[in-house]
Structure 1
C-alpha cells in the first residue's frame, strides 16, 4: 500500500529513532511506489530507499527512458548512478515519434554514468546507443542483451571485447551479420545469437552451458564446423536452434550427437513454422541412431508439421529405446512425457 502524505509526515518523527539497520530491513520489504514516497519524506529515508528503488530499473516506454535519463543527469545525489545495478529497456509499448538526436545523446550520457551496472538489457531498436558502446565502461557487467542494427557491428564488437566479465550474452537482430573481429569473452556461459557470432568467439577458455542460436541462410555453410569446434564442452547442457528458413535439422542433430553428447535439452524451431515437413520413418531411424550416443539427453523438441498421434507414439518409443535418459519429446504441437514407464501426450501446446 502506498504511504499517504500524513503517514510520511509521521514517518519523519518515528523513523529517526530507529537504528538504520532496522530501517534498511523495513525498506527491503516495500514496493517501488512506497520507496518513491520515502525518497521524498526526508534525507535519511531517501538515503535508505533510493539505492533499493534504483537497484533494478525496468523501462518499456520512450517517455520513461527519457525521464530516467534526466533524473540521473540532474540529480544532486552523486551516488545515485552507482545505485543502479540492473537496467532493462524493453521494446517500447508506446507509439510516439522517433526520439530527437539531442535526447538520444542525453540518454547515452546518462547510461554511461551507471558504472556499477551488472546487467544491461537494451532491446528498444528505436534508440541509437552508439555513444554508449563507444564510451561506456562497466567493469562489473555480467549480463548484456542488445538488439543489433547493421551500422553498429564494429563498435559493438569493440565494446564486448572490453568487458571480459560478461557471462550471459544475447545479440538479437532481424538479419544475418558477419562478425569479422574475434570475440574474447573467457567467462561466457550463455549465448543467444547467430552462428556467425559463435564462430567469432575465442573458445580457448570458454565453458558454455546454454546456447540459443539463430540460423540464417548464410550461416548454413559454417553451422556444422562451428558445432564441431565446441567438441569436448561437457558443461553444455542446452542447445536451441532457430532456423530463419528451412534447414536440415536432422543433419545438425547428427553433428551434435557426434561432438556434443552431453547435451541435456535440444530444441529445433523454424520461422515460419510451416516450413518443416513431417519426419519420415527412415528419418526417424536415423534420428534414433544419433540419439544412441546422447546418454544425458532429457528433452528434444522438433516442432515439425504433419503426422498423427499414432505415428508420433511409434517415433517417441523408438527414440526412447535408443536414448534411455529421454523423458520429454515435442512433436506436431504435442508434448510427450514419460510417466511411470509410459508415454503420455499433452495436446495443443
Structure 2
C-alpha cells in the first residue's frame, strides 16, 4: 500500500505519540541497517536509535566505517597513559575519519597515534605540539598533507620542524606566526588565517613565510594576542593587503584598552587596506568612544572606503547607503 503525503504525516505523528519505552522495544527488534536508517528519520528517532546502534552486535555489524569525526573533550580530563593507549587503539581502525581534534586544555602526548595512524580521507586536524612530539607531528602531517583543508597547530614553546611541510589544499589555518615558517603554502588556496601570539611583549606580526600569491588569496585574518600593539594593523596590511575581514582579540583584560592617539593611528593603518569590509576589534577604548564613537567610525571609513561593518568599544556599526548606525550594544 502506498500512503499519500497526508497519510504518511499522520502515521509519523501517531508513532511519535507512543511511549518512549515502547519505541525502544520496537527499535531493538530492527536489523542493524534498519536501525541506521531510523536514525535519519527524525531527531526523536535519532536520539533513541543511536545508542542502540552503538550497542548492536548483530551479524558482526560494525560502526567503524561510518565514523567520520573524533574530538577530545575541552573540559579538564585526566589523560593517564592507559586512557591515551585506549583512545589510540580505538582511533587506529577508523580509516574513514574526516576530522581529528587532539587539541586539549592540557598537553597530551599521542605519539604512537601520530607515528602510525593512516587516515586516507582526513581533511581537518587540530593538535597541540610540544618539543618532544614535534617530530611525530611532522611525520603525521607528511602522511596526510595532500588531503588536509583545515589545520590547527597549538604550541606554547618553540618547536623544530625538519623541513617545510607541503600543504597544497589548505583553506584554513590556526597557528602562531612563527609556525608559518615550517609550512609550505605556495599552492594552498588559503582563505582563513588565525594567528595567535605567545610573546609577553605587545604583539607584532613577524614577517610571515607565505608566498605573496598565496597571501593575496587570504580573505579572513584573526589575531589572538596577549598584548595589542596598534602597529600590528600595519603588519597585517603589509602581508595580507586584500583581506575583507580582520578580527583582533586580546587574551588579557589589561591589554583591551586603547587611547585616543592609538585610535587615530588605527585609521592611518586602515588606509593600506583596499578591500576590507568587516573590522571586529575585541578591544575597549578609554574615554573617547563613550561619546565620540560615531565620529571615530566615520574617520576610519574615511581612511578605508570599503568598510561596511565595525565592532569596537562594545558596539557594532553597520553602513547602509553611506550612512552609519550603531545596531547593537553588548551587555
Give matches, 1:251-262, under 5 Å: 251-262=231-242
Cα distance change of structure 1 residues 153 and 220 upon mapping to structure 2, 3 Å threshold: farther
1:301 and 2:313 correspond? no
Cα distance change of structure 1 residues 179 and 343 upon mapping to structure 2, 3 Å threshold: farther
Matched residue SS, 2:139: helix
Q: For 2:82 and 2:263, how far apart are their aligned partners in 1?
A: 58
Give matches, 1:180-219, under 5 Å: 180-181=161-162, 182-217=164-199
Q: For 2:141 and 2:257, how far apart are their aligned partners in 1?
A: 39
Cα distance change of structure 1 residues 91 and 150 upon mapping to structure 2, 3 Å threshold: farther
1:36 and 2:16 correspond? no
Cα distance change of structure 1 residues 241 and 311 upon mapping to structure 2, 3 Å threshold: same
Paired residues of 1:3 and 1:34 also in contact (CA < 8 A): no
Cα distance change of structure 1 residues 228 and 87 upon mapping to structure 2, 3 Å threshold: closer
Q: CA deviation at 1:342?
A: 2.4
Paired residues of 1:279 and 1:304 also in contact (CA < 8 A): no
Q: For 2:100 and 2:177, how far apart are their aligned partners in 1?
A: 23
Match of 1:55 in 2: none
Cα distance change of structure 1 residues 348 and 144 upon mapping to structure 2, 3 Å threshold: same
TM-score by length of 2: 0.79
Q: For 1:197 and 1:38, how far apart are their aligned partners in 2?
A: 42
Q: CA deviation at 1:34?
A: 2.1
Cα distance change of structure 1 residues 342 and 101 upon mapping to structure 2, 3 Å threshold: closer
1:267 and 2:279 correspond? no
Q: For 2:23 and 2:56, how far apart are their aligned partners in 1?
A: 10
Q: For 1:219 and 1:172, how far apart are their aligned partners in 2?
A: 19
5+ residue gaps, structure 1: 45-75
Q: For 1:327 and 1:157, how far apart are their aligned partners in 2?
A: 41
Match of 2:9 in 1: none
Q: Which of 80, 83, 95 is residue 66 of structure 2 equivalent to?
A: 83
Cα distance change of structure 1 residues 309 and 346 upon mapping to structure 2, 3 Å threshold: farther
Q: CA deviation at 1:319?
A: 0.9
Matched residue SS, 1:343: strand
Q: Which of 292, 297, 314 is residue 316 of structure 1 equivalent to?
A: 297
Q: For 2:311 and 2:26, how far apart are their aligned partners in 1?
A: 58
* Residues paired across the two proteins, number: 305
Q: Deviations over 1:125-152 (max 9, x none)?
A: 3643111111111111001112334432
Q: CA deviation at 1:346?
A: 2.8
| TM superposition outliers: structure 1 runs of 4+ over 6 Å | 218-222
Q: Deviations over 1:253-289 (max 9, x none)?
A: 12322342211111122221322442434x4444333
RMSD (Å), alpha carbons: 3.2
Paired residues of 1:297 and 1:325 also in contact (CA < 8 A): yes
Q: When you count helix as a share of all residues, which structure comes out higher?
A: 1
Q: Deviations over 1:185-226 (max 9, x none)?
A: 111110111112112111221221111101122898983411
1:333 and 2:314 correspond? yes
Greater Cα offset, 299-308 or 163-172: 299-308
5+ residue gaps, structure 2: 1-15
Q: Deviations over 1:84-124 (max 9, x none)?
A: 11112222356xxx444234222212211111100111233
1:239 and 2:210 correspond? no
